[in-house]
Amino acid sequence: MPALFVAIWCTGFVVARLGMPHAPPITFLAIRFALSVLCFGLWAKLAGAAWPSEPAQWGHLAVLGFSTHAIYLICGWAAVKHGLGAGTMALIAGLQPLLTALWLHATHDRSQAPLRRLQWAGLLLGLLGLLLVVGSKLGQGEISGLNLGLGIAALLAISFGALYQKRFVKPADARSAMLIQLTAALLLAAPLSLLETEPVVWHRDLWIALAWSVLALTLGGSSLLFLLLQKGAATRVTSLLYLVPPCAALLAWVLFDEPIGVAMWLGMGLSALGVFWVVRRA
């Protein structure tokens, strides 16, 4: 599952490249959430998925939908839309594993096994690799208080979501749990999309971006992330996100012939080694 998750999650950069020119970000995400709700609703009904028995769990899953789906994606896409470079946004989002580990360490969270020195070294090595990968992209697009604030808000949202799930969300059927989360995300994104004035151009690339966003990123990637967090420690799971920017760079190299320099190859190797050190068993 971890390898499949990284392979799917890294395609979000390609989807953004395809869909952004043809639709404003929040409108695109609202459509994506609506289609995802329909798909998960049909899947849950046909499969007879179990629903959370405790009312509080419905609320916790809704909070998870607001944070890891709506706020994270809206802020991240809006930051890029307002001029933040894609490399800079990737770097900001890539700080999540280190932020998660620091928070758990600072709060002395006993639900998580304490990190050994090798795992701390793995987190720092993964961060170093990430910096090498996206370093060449820094400076593309002007940084303003608005887009930087949106990027940091995206980072805080997905970090909060991972920690919140491990703390409050009990094991549940991924299909019904994702349906509740996406419904909450849609309820937040739909009204905000009405504030956007840019029209939607139903180009072929937009259809491809929507189809992949719903079928692969949401039904596949988001479900895998939920299951991985449900089964593993938050720090170990979020460390997998270190591999997303390097894999996205590889994907862009294959699909768009974007060059990868020596520093980027080195960074991808360091990130892979760092993740291995974090997730390896004692």
Taking the mean position of all CA atoms in its chain, how far away is CA 95? 12
Residue 196 CB burial class (10 angstroms; 0-12, 13-18, ≥19) = middle
Confidence band for 134, pLDDT divided at 50, 70 and 90: low
Nearest to 235 by CA among 266, 193, 277, 192: 277
Please tell me what DSSP assigns to residue 65.
I
Residue 140 is classified by DSSP as S
Cα distances from 63 to residues 20, 96, 110, 180, in angstroms, run 27, 19, 23, 10
Which structure tokens are listed for 169?
């969300």
Q: Is pLDDT above 50 for 282?
A: no
Q: What is the pLDDT of residues 147-186, one digit of tens each?
A: 888 988 998 998 899 888 878 888 888 889 989 999 999 9
Tell which residue, 168, 161, 183, 7, has the closest CA to residue 75. 161
Q: What is the pTM of this model?
A: 0.79
Give 57's contacts (C-beta < 8 A, 6+ positions apart): 169, 170, 172
Percent share of the chain, pLDDT over 70: 77
Cα–Cα dist 157/64, whole Å: 9
Q: Supply the pLDDT for residue 180.
A: 95
From 104, 138, 141, 134, select the one nearest 119 (Cα to Cα): 104
Q: How far, in Å, CA of 20 to CA of 27, rounded?
A: 10
State the average pLDDT over residues 135-152: 74
Segment 137-148 shows an average pLDDT of 71
Quote the pLDDT of residue 62. Answer: 96
Please say whether the beta carbons of 154 and 19 come within 8 A.
no
pLDDT tens string 3-58: 777 778 777 767 877 788 899 999 999 999 999 999 999 988 998 989 998 999 99
d(CA 132, CA 136): 8
Helix 86-93 and helix 244-256, axial crossing angle in degrees, nearest 10: 150
User: How confident is the model over 70-93, as pLDDT tens digits?
Assistant: 999 999 888 877 877 666 677 677
d(C-alpha 154, C-alpha 74), whole Å? 8
Residue 137 pLDDT greater than 70, yes or no? no
Higher pLDDT, 110 or 228: 228
